[in-house]
Structure 1
């Protein structure tokens, strides 16, 4: 095989155009309330054999690239997830990712066998690939829905953790190991891979954070690369020991993302950009893998039945049983049930049986592809409305205060730029009356374009911009105190607002 520079030029031209179109589709998807994955999939279909004629039928390559992209997406999810917000709902999230997945697999598999007439192997595979939710699909819609932290935490934990057990299950079934070993051995294998993978991810995350706090790299751009390399080191190390690489990469990234590492904001931004590129490439590739000519009425009917069974029976039942470890009001459980969107993960998982040559694996791929598209279109745009109907949407933060932050890496602090809006009750409050946490202070007041070095008796006014320096460990408490004074004024120094249970 010879290297052709002209082919490389063509690839770069087409690839950059496709990526730019996909990036612009994010804006369109946000305006119509649909996850951008649908536009990426459609772009892949338009480029494929029924559109511009690009041929792509290599299931093994799709499997490898899909797993690499999923690892990047999970790494970004871990790096950008706040453990402080996830922790209150971690029990429910873990239960949904394990017990919930098992229940969903059983219900969908039984329905696919008895209602659709699929053989047991294909029915169980269908149940397994459809069970995990997709973080990218869920949170591309939920960004516009303000929810209590326990709900977002549960959905984040579930979508970050449920890929690992389903990957193990689908792989065992597709390779025929399940039939040889039996249900008990399969369960033991899944538990082993999850536990060992999580342990390896934890070890790499803790050791990596310790090293990064003690080394000085010559360029700030090397820190994001180092963090991603550590996450993939966890993935590779776990895979080498026949454990779950997905569990390892997510746990390692979660630990690294919640440590006080140098250039942490830049690392998160870099990870978000790389993960977005991975999502675009993944969805376009999956769209290319589809052959529209195979989509018959029977395929559409089976996709509709599968999605209905998953949405109306399997998902609510799995959420209800999983909530035994952490009970929640029925309204919140109902929203979690409805918010279990499927995205790239189910489609990627179908590449495993395709690569292993499982009988009728192409039928499985077509059913799952159609189901994901249809039910994402039906459920995604309704999430804001459902949250209001169930009364779980949290009121947005009052606009009396606008806070922006910039890192001060050398001193492990953050510089907060606070704008006092016209509706803020901070107007008339003296700087000393703010009573910020010890160590935080107002370093400058900008009023009518002029800078003031404040004293304790300096009176704040509407339109003032404050520069507040806070140690990083006190940033959250400092912001909460500023918002408290903004909403209550001087009364905030005596009557502390009760912290709402979320």
Structure 2
């Protein structure tokens, strides 16, 4: 137990150090974490660490999917539901079928094994590409499509994966039965996820205690995920539906204290979960190399190169078809939602990074069939899946900023952000004006003292005066003003601690003042413009 705890501390230290380095050299943390995991796996004396598939599928996936769903706008998700569905369902099935065809005819894999391999490597990851895309300042709709696809495509993959495993292990498969089961799973999980979201919000609203509410929020994704998974579903669609319901209905039911504490809690949870996941994924390289010795090196590399080329080509073909073909066929759609430019489409197709879900699905393959024979090509599937994760994450992850800059896509993102910020400022002013109008009505209806009304009015007018003016799109956004505010807050902190040391205030007073300063400093992030590379 002591040795395992020491390894855990090493992983935490590697996570912190790698994330710090990634920020300094402006590289997506997932890339460096994967490479750091591979490097640590070959350190002399470092024990082999196996990544149990249940840890990913049952322990890690629910909170990751739930937090991303809650952060997503239901309105924007619904507005892009057609393209998200085409990518999350259609592209996964198309890729799996293309991989099965290529591996069957070119390297001789059985159809069922080829389809299983295709189902495993078909879904792009949601974590790494989005982290890169947000940093690059891509257009909002592009981010919504990528995130929506990443949330839903894992469900398609896991359902196809289970169909393929059953077909291989039992030797029986019915296409009509599988299609009916697929539709039934999606419908049932949608209803179940919405029900869990409704129940979770009501329980949290009745609790009225931030600690209890945050604990319930941590349990929610596991309830939404594990129950459908136990009955043969994927659990992912239910978790996504639950998160989207809470995202849309939560603001009026969740208290301010819970929101403030919950944001920091969930940020830390996701930071640790994602970081450790990529580190442990890299750790699997050592065990996979040992297992791959049963196959000729040339066969492994041929399979890796073939499948990598197929999934890249399949994504480009499907993305372009999914975006342009419906508009060619429907004049109404073409008028209502004009086709984006080719640069926009190219970036969507280029972000086909595979992640830990693919590796977890490969690791979860059974070792034997019903007849007690070994599972066909299990180690080959494992090694090819890991190689594809490594190639797409490192290769595409490093090239994506270059491609985005070359295509000039960030210019659209910058213009969108300017417009979004101006709309936000207008809404803030109108909200403050609404509050002042409500104050006037309260003054007429109730017997409020002039002093109270004066203080309340001064508070809202002060907040209104603090709002910045409109942005000039031609002026480069800078963090200088934010840095100055942070410097002033730092001076206040030093003065407060000097007052505490001199005995002029108590520790309780110092904590109350520091809490206000902490909230103000944390709020700077919301007012700070992202620096968008041009």
Contact 1:74 1:249 in 2 (8 A): yes
Matched, 1:303 2:304: yes
Contact 1:307–1:371 (CA under 8 A) maintained in structure 2: yes
CA distance in 2, matches of 1:440, 1:96: 44
Give the whole-Å Cα distance in 2 for the aligned partners of 1:192 and 1:123. 26
Do residues 126 (structure 1) and 126 (structure 2) align?
Answer: no
Aligned residue for 1:439, secondary structure, equals helix
Please tell me whether the aligned partners of residues 34 and 279 of structure 2 are also in contact (alpha carbons under 8 angstroms): yes
CA distance in 2, matches of 1:441, 1:384: 46
Instruction: Go from structure 1 to structure 2 and tell me whether the alpha carbon gap of 1:198 and 1:483 turns closer, same or farther (over 3 Å shift).
Output: farther
Matches within 5 A, 1:276-355: 276-290=271-285, 291=287, 292-293=289-290, 294=292, 296-311=297-312, 313-323=313-323, 324=325, 327-354=339-366
Cα distance change, pair 52–94 in 1 and its aligned pair in 2 (3 A): farther
1:201 Cα deviation (Å)? 0.7
d(CA) in 1 for partners of 2:302 and 2:282?
A: 20
Aligned residue number for residue 209 of structure 1:
201
1:28 aligns with 2:21: yes
Structure ranking higher in helix proportion: 2
Counterpart secondary structure, 2:117: helix
8 Å Cα contact 1:354/1:362 also seen in 2? no
Distance in 2, matches of 1:280 and 1:187, equals 36
Question: Cα distance, 1:436 vs. partner?
Answer: 5.9
Find the partner of 1:16 among 9, 23, 27.
Answer: 9
Aligned to 2:61: 70
Q: Would you say the 8 A contact 1:35–1:141 is kept in 2?
A: yes
Question: Where does residue 266 of structure 1 map in the other structure?
Answer: 261
Question: What is the CA deviation profile of residues 374-401 of structure 1, one whole-angstrom value per residue up to 9, with x for unaligned ones?
Answer: 2222211222232233332235379999
Cross-structure match for 2:377: 360
Residue 51 of structure 1 and its aligned partner are, at CA, apart by: 4.5
Instruction: Give ranges in structure 2 of 5+ residues lacking alignment.
Output: 327-336, 369-373, 438-454, 474-534
Aligned residues: 421
With a CA cutoff of 8 Å and minimum separation of 6, indicate the structure with the bigger relative contact order: 2
Alignment of 1:447-458 (within 5 A): none
The equivalent of 1:275 in structure 2 is: 270
Q: Rate the CA distance shift 1:454–1:315 in 2: closer, same or farther, 3 A.
A: same
Q: Take 1:159 and 1:152, find their aligned partners in 2: how far apart are those partners?
A: 10
Contact kept in structure 1, 2:94 and 2:314, CA below 8 Å: yes
Aligned to 1:249: 239
| CA deviation vs aligned residue, 1:414-473 (integer Å, no higher than 9, x gap) | xx9x9xxxxxxx9xxxxxx9666642579xxxxxxxxx99879x9xxxxxxx6359xxxx
Using the TM superposition, give the Cα deviation of residue 30 of structure 1 relative to its aligned residue in structure 2, in angstroms.
4.1
Instruction: From the superposition, tell whether residues 380 and 47 of structure 1 become closer, same or farther in structure 2 (CA, over 3 Å).
Output: closer
Q: CA deviation at 1:300?
A: 3.0
Taking the TM superposition and a 5 Å limit, the aligned residue runs for 1:345-424 are 345-354=357-366, 358-393=375-410, 394-396=412-414
Is 1:97–1:162's contact at 8 Å kept on the other side of the alignment?
yes
2-structure distance, mates of 1:302, 1:440 = 64
Task: Please give the secondary structure, in 2, of the residue aligned with 1:162.
Answer: helix
Q: Distance in 1 between matches of 2:470 and 2:42?
A: 61
Question: Of the candidates 164, 181, 193, which is equivalent to residue 173 of structure 1?
Answer: 164
TM-score, length-scaled by structure 2: 0.70
**TM-score (norm: length of structure 1):** 0.74
Deviations 1:53-106 (CA, angstroms, capped at 9, x unpaired): 41345xxx7121121212221122112223344333222112211111111111
1:225-256 CA deviation, whole Å, 9 max, x = no partner? 21121221111222244332121122212222
Change (3 A) 1:53 1:150: same
CA RMSD of aligned residues (A): 3.5
Per-residue deviation, 1:163: 0.4
1:339-387 per-position Cα deviation (integer Å, ceiling 9, x unaligned): 1211212111212225566222111111111121122222112222322
Moved more, 197-206 or 150-159: 197-206
**Which residue of structure 1 aligns with residue 47 of structure 2?**
54
Are the equivalent residues in 1 in contact too, given 2:15–2:276 (CA < 8 A)? no
The alpha carbon displacement at 1:336 in A equals: 0.6
Aligned to 2:137: 146
Structure with max Cα Rg: 2
Going by fraction, where is strand more abundant, 1 or 2?
1
